Each structure stands twice: as structure tokens, then as C-alpha cells.
Amino acid sequence: MAIPLAAQTTPGPICQTQTGRLQGTRDTTGVLVFKGVAYAAAPIGAGRFLPPRPLLPWAEVRPAVAFGPRAPQGGNAGPQGDENCLTLNVWTPSLRAARPKAVVVWVHGGSFTGGSGDDFPGQNFARRDSIVAVSINYRLGSFGFLQLGQRLGPAYRQAGNAGVLDVVAALRWVRANIAAFGGDPARVTVMGESAGAKLVSAVLVTPAADGLYQQVILESGGTQAVRDTATAATVTNRLLAALGLRPDQAGQLLKLPTSDIIKAQQKLAAGPSGLQLFGPVLDGLTIPEAPLPHLAHAGRPKVRALVGTNRDEAGLFMGFWPTLRTPNQPVLTDLFGANGEQVWRAYEQARRTQPTDQAWLRTTTDYLYRLASYRLASTLARAGHAVWLYRFDYQTPGGAGPVHAQELGFVWNTLGTKAVAPTARELSAQMHQRWVRFITTGTPGADWPTYDAKRPQALVFDSVSRARLLNNPYEDAAFPNQAFRL
């Protein structure tokens, strides 16, 4: 979801980071913007598929006036982006403040195969709310989540989590440098939506990231994207086959043109199956154990979490793919792999008490998003972490229901002067301030109860928003390890 950013017109001050000086720009509202800032060495050449490497210092003043390249991904006109993609962007009200400001780090979504940090309207948080906003790019698809340890040896054992480690490297950069931009490294919230939320959830279970943040915001995503090594290996073998390579020829991945790999990846990701094709890997090293048991351990660093979903998430994808619009079991195999049969049984159970189309929409929404989010919230709450749960129910008058990603314009308060109902504009301001309050104070408001797994409540955002007790069927739903498996 790309949202136009304010024009930058004048040179900004120079900021000293630990590796060198950067000069950004000042936009027309006075916000200082630093674009395309490298947070790790370029993962090119011998660095392809490997964990991110530290930056080398530089002596000159580097301009930070243009967004860095998108990570390699498919596009309407063919492959786009560049492997030299490990950059971030910073929006700040000022470089100096009497009290360092809270920081929000945005991790974009896009099915782990698309998107970019420059889609984030960070100037809204900096200008309106006096927050230092950061957005990042990370490696996508095959370059960020292709398990290669079994094919290329121990040096590539973490290749299936290169994208996870990119986020960790970006958070290390934030801890080391954000004070120079007026931010407080002790008040960092990591925020993601869709695949971004799933990736932030993977960071939650990555010990290397412990202590680099204090809060998370997870919009429509939990740990369900983490897959076992057998599933990850199947994806690797399918990509090799799409490239016309045998498994013993995997070494050619190290030198193939970027565009060839992206074209093969696009073949695999066509249709609903692309939603789940790539994701973090339970490799025993980056992610040492199954996510929910890991989070349940006592003594883990405490985090505060704001977690939620939209009521009709799956409606967005039904608009994209006709095969998903009517109940059918094969499409569930595309979406959920070996777990598809269980989802079909859940749908058949639901249609006994609901109209067919509603049962189908709610079941696919539950198993794509809500189940994982609620289980994650319950696990964190039981382990003593403070959790606030929400559901976005607002339906545009005469328009679509609250489908996947529809909450973004409300959370960022970017409805602006669009022809929207007054209730929508009011709700947008309300949601944005809830998010801002959480980022800046650690709580979204006293009238929003913390989540209790024994008596689950969520704040439901609608034309009239209020906290509601949930009829929570997700605790015991049959979905082994809540993970995607081929």
C-alpha cells in the first residue's frame, strides 16, 4: 500500500552515526528525513543468502536524500529491485530534544515477496506525534527465506532466515544510532502488518534480537509463517526445479542473475499458494525452537504487544483469485498445505450454523490470520507479557467489508481529504491516537483492557468502538503447531 510522501525541498543538517556522517533533507513541514541509509553491508556477490555483514566506516559526508532500491521482487513489467537493498529511512522532528523521543520501526508486508519501506508515511508520526519513525527494507523471497544449508553446507545454515537477520541488523543499527536522530533506544516499538507482522513475530522468537526493542505491534500476523526444515527444503527443491536445476546443482544459485531467480520464484508464487510460499524457518539456530513453546518460557525479556486482525481478512484475496471465492477443498491445500484438510473440516462445521458464504469467509480468515494472532496473544499473556488485542470491524458504507490491510489508512490516519464518511475520519483519528499512545507510553489507554487468556477481551474498532468479551474458539482449534507445512 503506497502512500505519497511529503516533498523534500531543502537540505537538512548533518547527522553523525557510528560509521559516518549523513546529510538528509528537511521537508515542507519541517520534518528531517534521511533516506536510503545503509544499515549493513550490501548482501551481494559472496554475501548472497548469507547473514548480513557489518558496515565499514566512511570519511566523507554521505547524502541520504533518495530511497534505497527495493529488494528483488516481481513486478508488472518483470523483475525489479536490487540485491543491494539493506537500507532504512528515518523521519524525525529534530536531531536534538530535551527528552529523547519514542521510536517506531516499520517492517513492511507483501507476502515475503514484495513491498518496500518507502511505502510507509513516517512523516505523519514525526510531524503530528513527535515520534522518530524508521522504515526498513529487508531481503525477500528466495534471497531472504530460501533454506540452503542442506544443499550448500554449514555456511548457509541460516539462509532461510536471512530476512529475519536483516531485521535484527536494522534493530542493532537503531540501538546504536537512533539517539543521534533524537530517538530513545530504550523506547523502541517494532510494528508490522501482514508478512511484516509475521516477520516481527519471528523476531520475537529470535534470541539474537532480545533487548533490541521493548514493544511490538502486530497487525494481521503471528508466528504461523514459521515452517519446519522439511517444508523449507521442499520450497528450495521446487525453486531449483523451476530453474531447471537438479538438487545437486544448487551451487549455481550463487551466481545466477537476480532476474532469473525472481522469474522462477514468480512461477511458484502464482495464485493463492504464493501467500504462504516463503517465510522464516525453524532452523534450530536463528529460531532455536517452535515459536509458541519458546515464548511460553519463564524469564524471557518482557515485551508489550498490541495484536489484532480485521474481521473479514480473506475477502481481499477472494477479490484477487476466483478460485477462492467459493468453498472448495483444493484451494485450501494451496493455502495451507498439509493442514488444508483440517481447515475444510472447520468450514464444514461452521456452515451448519452460518450461511455458506459467511462460513467460508470466516473460516478462511480464521485460519489465515485470526487463529495465529489469538494464540500468540494468549501465549504472551500467560507468560506475563502485557498484551492488548483488537479487531477492526469497520465497513465502508456501501463498500467492502473490513478486509486484509484495510486498517492501514486508519492506523496511519492518512484518509486525509478523501471523500469518506465522517465516521471513518473520526475512527481514523481515534485508531491513530491509540497506536501513538502505545508507542509513546506503553499502553493504548486505560479503557482498553489487557488481554486475559481466561477471559479474553478485544477492543473492536467500528463506527462505535468498544471493548467486548470474545467467544474465543481458537485455543483448541485443530491446527498442529499453527505452522505452514507442505
Alpha helices in 337-478 (DSSP H): 340-350, 356-365, 371-382, 408-411, 422-441
**Predicted TM-score of the model (pTM):** 0.95
Q: How far apart are CA 366 and CA 368, in angstroms?
A: 6
Q: What are the beta bridge partners of residue 63?
A: 23
Q: How far apart are CA 411 and CA 421, in angstroms?
A: 16
Residue 163 CB burial class (10 angstroms; 0-12, 13-18, ≥19): buried
CB 93 within 8 A of CB 32: yes
CB 442 within 8 A of CB 466: no
**278 closest CA partner among 155, 408, 138:** 138
Residue 299 CB burial class (10 angstroms; 0-12, 13-18, ≥19): exposed
Mean pLDDT of the chain: 92
3-state class (DSSP) for residue 57: coil
Tens-digit pLDDT string for the chain (486 aa): 444 444 445 788 899 999 999 999 999 999 999 999 999 999 999 999 999 999 999 999 999 999 999 999 998 888 999 999 999 999 999 998 889 999 999 999 999 999 999 999 899 999 999 999 999 999 999 999 999 999 999 999 999 999 999 999 999 999 999 999 999 999 999 999 999 999 999 999 999 999 999 999 999 999 999 999 999 999 999 999 999 999 999 999 999 999 999 999 999 988 888 888 999 999 999 999 999 999 999 889 999 999 999 999 999 999 999 999 999 999 998 888 888 998 999 999 999 999 999 999 999 999 999 999 999 999 999 999 999 999 999 998 777 789 999 999 999 998 866 668 888 989 999 999 999 999 999 999 999 999 988 888 899 999 887 777 666 545 444 444 445 555
**Who's near 156: CB < 8 A, 6+ residues apart?**
49, 50, 148, 149
- Which positions are annotated as active-site residues? 194, 313, 404
pLDDT at residue 485 in the model: 56
Question: What's the CATH number for 69-482?
Answer: 3.40.50.1820
Q: Where are the domains of the chain?
A: 69-482
pLDDT tens, residue by residue, 417-474: 666 888 898 999 999 999 999 999 999 999 999 998 888 889 999 988 777 766 654 5
**Who's near 4: CB < 8 A, 6+ residues apart?**
none
And the C-alpha cell for 96?
Answer: 536534538
3-state class (DSSP) for residue 75: coil
pLDDT at residue 417 in the model: 60
**Who's near 332: CB < 8 A, 6+ residues apart?**
340, 341, 343, 344, 364
